[in-house]
Amino acid sequence: MAFQLIEIIVPGGRAGDIDELLHDIEIVTSWRDQLTEKQARIRLLVETGTVEKILDRLETYLQPLPEAWAILLPVEAIIPRPIPVEHTDNISENEEKRLARISRQELLADVSAGTILSGNYLAMVTLSAIIAAIGLLRNDTAIIIGAMVLAPLLLPNVAFGLANTLGDARLGIDSVRTALAGLGLAILIGAGIGLAVSPAPVPSEIVARTRIGWFDLVLALASGSAGVLALTGGGSLSLVGVMVAVALMPPLVSGGLLIGSGRYATGFSALSLAFANIICVNLAAIITFHVQGIRPSTWWEKNKARRARRRATVILVGLLVALAALLLLNR
């Protein structure tokens, strides 16, 4: 079991309230000291599975207090290692799910950072698209995988799924804006390279991304779900990025290369594959977040999140069914 440290800063007279607030939550150990005459500090060593429950309670309690904070810190090692807390009470299904993932607050902080439309993000998209284009033109799978490790399109797409799971409109708007900027830039870079190079004959790695098959949709769904599972489990972003980027960057750049070289029909087919994959990745993200029990803490936020999740799921499933119908008609 992993452990984390929560540091709480409260007005001096409120330190005793924390014990009462968290009386029914298992704490491995705690420390308390006086920072100043007006501020006290409480440190809690807790198992990772209880972090979200603790932070939910602290958020409500600390918001109206002046100069009050709760800071979550990672714990790399403890010597001697504490004995894990025995969960003797009957924990709920949601609490069981919580034990297997990072807290909602950590996830939101990680994902929100990837929705910022910055120069660094655009530079990463540019480099990833250039590397992917070189790999596609040279039929070199290793180079294509190298482009996916950069994973610039990962977090905006995952953030969209999280925004609909939590009913967070601001996060949803930011994720859509950043994702569209990245997608458009990748296509433009591919088109520019295609215009300059105009590959003939078209390499097989590009041709493979001009056809939408059932396995492509299954791959995108599996990639989106695996990416979210790795992210909520605290996995490496590069590893998660490869899972998701396999369905996004190569078909986007392939479409750009083909359109840039004047092959418009096949180019739009590649972009259709990218669009289908984006739908599948976001749908898988929403479903996986929900199954893992990620939802707001208050009942009115839960109602809003439930409506947002249902609306997004219906739209994405409708688009996916339309694409599936087109596949059947084409066959």
Nearest C-alpha neighbor of 227 from the set 114, 133, 319, 320: 114
- Please give the angle made by the CA atoms of 163, 9 and 112, to the nearest 5 degrees: 20
Q: Are residues 42 and 151 in the same domain?
A: no
Give the domain-ending residue among 98, 125, 150: 98
Burial of residue 327 (CB within 10 Å: 0-12, 13-18, 19+) is middle
Domain count, the chain: 2
- Helix, coil or strand: residue 41: strand
Q: Strand 39-47 relative to strand 69-74: parallel, antiparallel, unpaired?
A: unpaired
Q: Are residues 93 and 114 in the same domain?
A: no
Q: Are residues 131 and 82 in the same domain?
A: no
With a cut of 60, say whether residue 301 has pLDDT above it.
Answer: yes
Q: Are residues 149 and 33 in the same domain?
A: no
Q: What is the DSSP letter of 22?
A: T
Q: What is the DSSP letter of 25?
A: S
Can you give the pLDDT at residue 150? 66
Question: What is the H or E stretch that residue 262 is in?
Answer: none
Buried b (16+ CB within 10 A) or exposed e, 168-178: beebbebbbeb
Can you give the pLDDT at residue 96? 47
Give the domain-ending residue among 98, 133, 155: 98
Residues sharing a CB contact under 8 Å with residue 79, sequence separation 6 or more, in sequence order: none
Give the domain-ending residue among 98, 127, 160: 98
- Please give the angle made by the CA atoms of 226, 231 and 232, to the nearest 5 degrees: 100
CA-to-CA distance for 265 and 286, rounded, in angstroms?
32
Q: Are residues 69 and 193 in the same domain?
A: no
Which one has a higher pLDDT value, 233 or 54? 54
Domain that includes residue 174, residue range = 104-330
Q: Are residues 170 and 253 in the same domain?
A: yes
CA-to-CA distance for 136 and 204, rounded, in angstroms?
8
Question: What is the H or E stretch that residue 84 is in?
Answer: none
pLDDT digits (tens, 9 = 90+) for 21-31: 998 888 999 99
Q: Are residues 275 and 233 in the same domain?
A: yes
Looking at residues 291-309, what average pLDDT do you find?
80
Longest dimension (CA), the chain: 77
With a cut of 60, say whether residue 89 has pLDDT above it.
Answer: no
Can you give the pLDDT at residue 86? 62
Can you give the pLDDT at residue 10? 92
Looking at every residue in the chain, the average pLDDT score rounds to 83
Residues sharing a CB contact under 8 Å with residue 286, sequence separation 6 or more, in sequence order: 161, 164, 165, 309, 312, 313, 316
Can you give the pLDDT at residue 80? 84
Q: Are residues 114 and 94 in the same domain?
A: no
Q: Are residues 140 and 212 in the same domain?
A: yes
CA-to-CA distance for 71 and 57, rounded, in angstroms?
14
With a cut of 70, say whether residue 94 has pLDDT above it.
Answer: no
pTM over the 0.95 mark: no
Q: Are residues 54 and 111 in the same domain?
A: no
- Which whole-number Å values give the CA distances from 23 to 17, 57, 74, 90, 327, in the listed order? 10, 11, 23, 16, 57
pLDDT digits (tens, 9 = 90+) for 101-158: 788 888 888 888 878 888 999 998 999 899 989 999 998 888 887 777 666 787 888 8
Which CATH number covers residue 93? Answer: 3.30.70.260
pLDDT digits (tens, 9 = 90+) for 52-77: 889 999 988 998 888 899 999 988 88
Q: Are residues 165 and 25 in the same domain?
A: no
Q: Are residues 86 and 130 in the same domain?
A: no
With a cut of 60, say whether residue 91 has pLDDT above it.
Answer: no
